[in-house]
Each structure stands twice: as C-alpha cells, then as structure tokens.
C-alpha cells in the first residue's frame, strides 16, 4: 500500500458514518423539486428528453437539430433514469439522478484515492474537503455533463495512484475514467489524464518501471473501445456531424478558430481559483509545503502533476468559464488532505465561536425562509424581490419537511467534529457549507425556482403557440438553446429558425423572437408589428420572448 512507507500524518478523520451522512445531506438538496434552469441545465434537459424518447444514443438532438458540442454519455445516463423513474417523479428530477450517480462515483474515487495516499485515517477527508470547496456545490448539483467528466477525472487519478502497486487494477481505473471523461465532454478530459500519465515518470521514480508501462497498456485496452465505438457510429451516421464534433468542438474550441464559447483571459483561472477553490487551495499549498519538508512530496506526484497539467491546459485554451475549473478540484482535494495536520486541540473559545457563527447563519437562513412562507418581515421584500418575484407567500410543507430533516441531522453531526484544531475546523467549515446549501435548496427553493425556471412564462405562451401551430407554423429569431429546449418541453413546439433555415421558416405566419433589453429584428420594427404576447421569467427585466402574428408570411416580412 502506498501509505505504508512514510504516511503523512493527518488529523484523525470523523467516523465513517458521520462523514457519509454529511455527504448525503450535502448531495440531496438541489437535485429534486426544481425545474431546469438556464443555461446549462435547460439545454441539457432538452437533449436528455430527445434520447429518452428516440432511443438514439449516437447523435443528441436539441429542438429538432443535431447538437454536437458534447458526446452523449451523460444524456444517455439521464435518459435511462428518466425512463425508469419518470412516472414516479417529475422528469427533471428523474434526469438529475444521473448527476447524483456521477457525484457518488466521484466521491467514491476520491475516498479510495485518499485511502491510498493517507491510509484509513485520511480517506474520508478528500470527499469532505471537496464538498467544502466554495465553487463546487452549485455546479456539482446541476444537470450538466461536467459531473460525468469530473467523475471520470477522479477515477483516472485513482488509477494513476494505484498503478505502481497494482498495474492491472490501476490501468482499468485509468482506462474507464478516461473513457468516461471522453464520452462526457470530448478530448479535453482524456487529454489531461494522458499528459499527466506521460509526465509522471519525470516526476517520480515509482513510475519508471515496466509495471507502470503495463498499467498504461491496460488503460488503453480498457479505455479505447467504447469511445471508438461511438466515434465510428457517429462517422458512419454522418461524416459532417463527425467533423463538426471532432474538429470544431474539440480543436476549434481549444484553439479558438471557430469563435465558439466565451473567449479566454489568460489570467482567468489564476484570478478565479482563490475564491472558487477556497479553502481547498490554501490547504493544498500548505500540505505540499509540509510534504516537501518531510521528504514525502514524491508521494503526491500524481495529484500534483494532474493539477499542473490541467491548469496549463485550461489556461492555454481559447475558452474560459468558471465551470471548466471543476476538474482541478479532483487532484486539489487530495493535496489538501495533507494540509490537515495535527497540532493541539481546538479551545473552548474556538468551539464556541464556530457554534455562534453556525447559529447566526442558520437564523439568517430561517428568517428568509419564514419571509418566503409568510411575507414577513416586510423589510426583506425589497432585497429579495429579484429572487422571489412571482412567488405568493405560503408554506410549502414538503420543502419545510426536507429542510427540517436536514437541519436535525446536521445538528447531530455537529458533535462529530474531531477534537484536533485543524481537523475540527475543517469539519466545521464543511458542515457550515452543507448547512447553507441544504437550507437554501429546501426552504428557499420553491420561491427561487419560479424566477429561475421557464415554467411560468412558457406556460403563458402555450395556448397561443398551440393555436399558431394548428393554423400554420412558428418561426423564431435568436432563440437560444435553453429556450428552444424548454419551449419543446413545456409547449410541445419546435420552431423553424430563421438564422439556420430561412427557407423552412419563410412560410410561417407566426414569429417568436428572443428580445434582450428591448431588441427586436429590424424587419419587425419596420413593419410596426404589435406583439400578441410578451413573456419573461418573473423579475427578469432584461430578457423576454415575444410572439407576433405576421401579415402574410415571415419570408415576405424579412424581404422588406
């Protein structure tokens, strides 16, 4: 075992049951009881619905058009859950079970990696530090392919850690992780793992052996078949779609030659990580410093190399989003465990200060929840107006039951904190992040969901769109991917997009326009058309969707 040589001494971990329960209290809120939110969750749900209804596992479709940004692993998984459990719960909730699955797999991999590096005493700290990372909870709970990518990266890292001791098992884990990463978001994930695997012999003598070469060979044998099968099936289905995915959405995005995605600032991740990865990043820096002083830094070669490789790859890429930094957290949380060093006990005053902070946070969260339920205190109405617009105060009993159960369990888990100073403080930090997340995404959720989802505005559109579809067809101008996906889900309509296929849209007598800050097409403004209906999410004053009845046809309107 890797930890049997010179283990890095870390604070004694909490009991396994307490750690597992804390992970569950963190995981479940935010997965259930909400509609698909813009942007990523909404368009992902459209793709999931297509796979669920069509059974097409090769080409994902969004509102009638092939969507080749990402391979279909997450969509297929979510579609299977939707078909299996969609009759028992809402379709979005059933689809988000895929997120729960991949997060569970990621936690398992980080636990196993922690056990390899630090033994049983440190195994649970890796997933616990992960859930306490500021930038992780929101994205990790969304209906997005990045959760499957994250799980693949986590298992690939576990395979790299295991490879010097158990080359076959390590190769299997690495191969499966790389395959999952590739089938989730394309070549970027396996590229990171591959570069890390090739760099490790330069970093540590433990990776300069035939056993490690055997492990890499096993990884290739295990990891290549499924991605190759999908790529061959895609190529045989449509050469153009294969080229669109392989070249435009992998190399084109990375090098910026196709001008897709948000443009990168080369310092973006250096500015983002201090808050996004807090407190994991400073803990990791301290842990690496401790390991270097004790001569044990070589044992951290795999997570160090993966973090460095991934950071360089993301920095060089032409696109940048805070979401894309998620893979960095897989190695970072393992490095952070080495920073949870023993050293004295947390004083009574320190424990009381943590308890006071926790009580204040819980009181604030509950006060907002009471306002959502009753409308009082009235003073909160204005600061919360953006998030609770369209909500009529009432007691959402199911959400209060969920929040009450989470709070009761957290109160029990508060006493599970280790007595040692650093370990106790890390546990309490993770506990408070879980408290904030669990209460906000139970007690606050029904009110926030109305403003973040599209169920209300697209429900208002439904009668007019169904009438329009029965009379003619509906063209659209500038509808983005989330809106097209949710109009198909809520209204059962696929519009004919002017910007993609003007010939198909030309014969339509109705036009649906996405308007940002009052924008309308010049053709509409010149014709002086009055809208049949303008809808927007409650509280959203920037974006709206406008339906027009066109005299004649849309083709004649745009030729004026």
Q: Is residue 529 part of a domain?
A: yes
Asked if residue 146 and residue 168 are part of one domain, the reply reads: yes
Q: Is residue 332 part of a domain?
A: yes
CA distances to 155, 256, 326, 374, 429 from 106, in Å:
7, 30, 12, 39, 21
CA distances to 138, 328, 389 from 273, in Å:
15, 9, 32
Last-in-domain residue among 302, 337, 372:
337
pLDDT of the residue at 261: 67
β-strand pairing of 510-516 with 496-497: unpaired
Asked if residue 459 and residue 442 are part of one domain, the reply reads: no
Last-in-domain residue among 291, 314, 337:
337
Asked if residue 207 and residue 296 are part of one domain, the reply reads: yes
Q: Is residue 49 part of a domain?
A: no
Helices (H), 338-480: 348-374, 385-388, 397-414, 421-443, 445-452, 455-471
Distance CA 129, CA 330 (A): 10
Asked if residue 372 and residue 271 are part of one domain, the reply reads: no
461 is in which domain, residue-wise?
A: 455-559
Asked if residue 537 and residue 405 are part of one domain, the reply reads: no
β-strand pairing of 543-549 with 510-516: antiparallel
What are the pLDDT tens digits along the chain (560 aa)? 444 333 344 555 557 889 999 999 999 999 999 999 988 999 999 999 999 999 999 999 999 999 999 999 999 999 999 999 999 999 999 999 999 999 999 999 999 999 999 988 778 999 999 999 999 999 999 999 999 999 999 999 999 999 999 999 999 999 999 999 999 999 999 999 999 999 999 989 889 999 999 999 999 999 999 999 999 999 999 999 999 999 999 999 898 887 666 677 889 999 999 999 999 999 999 999 998 888 777 889 999 999 999 999 999 998 899 999 999 999 999 999 999 977 778 888 888 999 999 999 999 999 999 999 999 999 999 999 888 888 999 999 999 999 999 999 999 999 888 878 888 999 999 999 999 999 999 999 999 999 899 999 999 999 999 999 999 999 999 999 999 999 999 999 999 999 999 999 999 999 999 999 999 999 999 999 999 999 999 988 899 999 999 999 999 999 87
Instruction: Find, among 550, 484, 478, 475, the residue nearest to 517 by Cα.
Output: 478
Count Cα atoms within 13 angstroms, Cβ side, for 137: 26
Asked if residue 394 and residue 428 are part of one domain, the reply reads: yes
Distance CA 137, CA 132 (A): 8
Q: Is residue 46 part of a domain?
A: no
Neighbour tally for 347: CB within 10 Å? 10
Give the tokens for residue 21.
């329960």
Neighbour tally for 184: CB within 10 Å? 28
Total number of domains constituting the chain = 3
Distance CA 182, CA 260 (A): 19
Asked if residue 406 and residue 511 are part of one domain, the reply reads: no
Output Rg (C-alpha) for the chain, integer angstroms.
25
Q: Is residue 44 part of a domain?
A: no
Asked if residue 460 and residue 412 are part of one domain, the reply reads: no
Last-in-domain residue among 412, 432, 452:
452
Asked if residue 126 and residue 209 are part of one domain, the reply reads: yes
Q: Is residue 18 part of a domain?
A: no
* Cβ proximity of 21 and 130 under 8 Å: no
Asked if residue 312 and residue 172 are part of one domain, the reply reads: yes
pLDDT of the residue at 15: 74
Confidence (pTM): 0.95
Beta-carbon contacts of residue 165 (< 8 Å; ≥ 6 apart): 1, 2
Give the tokens for residue 498.
């002017």
pLDDT of the residue at 214: 97
Asked if residue 303 and residue 387 are part of one domain, the reply reads: no
Asked if residue 491 and residue 435 are part of one domain, the reply reads: no
CA distances to 267, 273, 310, 338 from 281, in Å:
17, 8, 15, 12
Q: Is residue 80 part of a domain?
A: no
Instruction: Find, among 40, 34, 35, the residue nearest to 323 by Cα.
Output: 40
Q: Is residue 236 part of a domain?
A: yes
């Amino acid at each position: 075992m890797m930890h049997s040589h010179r283990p890095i001494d870390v604070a004694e971990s909490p009991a396994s049951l307490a750690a597992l329960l804390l992970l569950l209290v963190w995981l479940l809120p935010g997965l259930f009881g909400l509609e698909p939110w813009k942007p990523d969750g909404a368009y992902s749900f459209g793709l999931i619905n297509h796979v669920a209804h069509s059974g097409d596992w090769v080409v994902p479709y969004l509102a009638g058009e092939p969507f080749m940004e990402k391979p279909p692993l997450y969509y297929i998984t979510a579609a299977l859950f939707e078909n299996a459990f969609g009759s028992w719960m809402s379709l979005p909730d059933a689809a988000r079970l895929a997120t729960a699955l991949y997060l569970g797999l990621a936690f398992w991999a980080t636990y196993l990696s922690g056990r390899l590096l630090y033994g049983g005493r440190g195994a649970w700290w890796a997933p616990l530090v992960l859930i306490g990372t500021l930038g992780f909870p929101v994205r990790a709970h969304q209906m997005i392919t990045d959760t499957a990518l994250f799980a693949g990266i986590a298992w690939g890292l576990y395979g790299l850690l295991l490879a010097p001791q158990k080359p076959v098992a390590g190769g299997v884990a690495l191969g499966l992780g790389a395959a999952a990463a590739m089938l989730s978001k394309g070549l970027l994930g396996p590229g990171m793992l591959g570069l890390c695997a090739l760099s490790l012999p330069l970093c540590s003598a433990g990776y300069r052996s035939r056993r490690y070469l055997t492990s890499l060979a096993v990884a290739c044998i295990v990891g290549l078949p499924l991605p190759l099968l999908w790529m061959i099936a895609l190529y045989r289905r449509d050469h153009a779609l294969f080229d669109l995915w392989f070249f435009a959405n992998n190399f084109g995005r990375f090098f910026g030659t196709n001008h897709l995605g948000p443009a990168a600032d080369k310092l973006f991740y250096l500015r983002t990580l201090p808050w996004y990865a807090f407190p994991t990043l400073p803990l990791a820096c301290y842990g690496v410093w401790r390991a270097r002083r004790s001569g044990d830094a070589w044992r951290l070669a795999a997570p160090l190399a993966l973090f460095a490789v991934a950071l360089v790859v993301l920095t060089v890429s032409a696109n940048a989003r805070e979401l894309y930094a998620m893979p960095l957290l897989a190695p970072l949380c393992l490095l952070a465990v080495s920073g949870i060093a023993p050293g004295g006990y947390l004083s009574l005053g320190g424990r009381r200060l943590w308890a006071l902070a926790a009580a204040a946070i819980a009181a604030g969260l509950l006060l907002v929840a009471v306002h959502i339920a009753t409308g009082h205190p009235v003073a909160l109405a204005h600061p919360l107006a953006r998030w609770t617009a369209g909500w009529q105060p009432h007691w959402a009993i199911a959400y209060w039951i969920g929040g009450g159960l989470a709070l009761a369990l957290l109160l029990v888990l508060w006493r599970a904190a280790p007595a040692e100073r650093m370990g106790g403080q890390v546990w309490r930090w993770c506990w408070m992040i879980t408290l904030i997340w669990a209460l906000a995404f139970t007690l606050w959720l029904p009110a926030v969901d109305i403003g973040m989802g599209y169920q209300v505005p697209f429900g208002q559109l439904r009668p007019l769109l169904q009438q329009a579809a029965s009379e003619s067809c509906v063209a659209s101008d500038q509808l983005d991917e989330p809106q097209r996906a949710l109009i198909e889900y809520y209204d059962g309509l696929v519009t004919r997009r002017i910007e993609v296929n003007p010939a198909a849209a030309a014969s339509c007598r109705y036009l649906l326009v996405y308007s940002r800050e009052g924008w309308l097409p010049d053709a509409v403004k010149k014709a002086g058309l009055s809208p049949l209906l303008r809808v927007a999410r409650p509280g959203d004053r920037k974006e709206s969707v406008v339906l027009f009845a066109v005299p004649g046809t849309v083709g004649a309107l745009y030729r004026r």
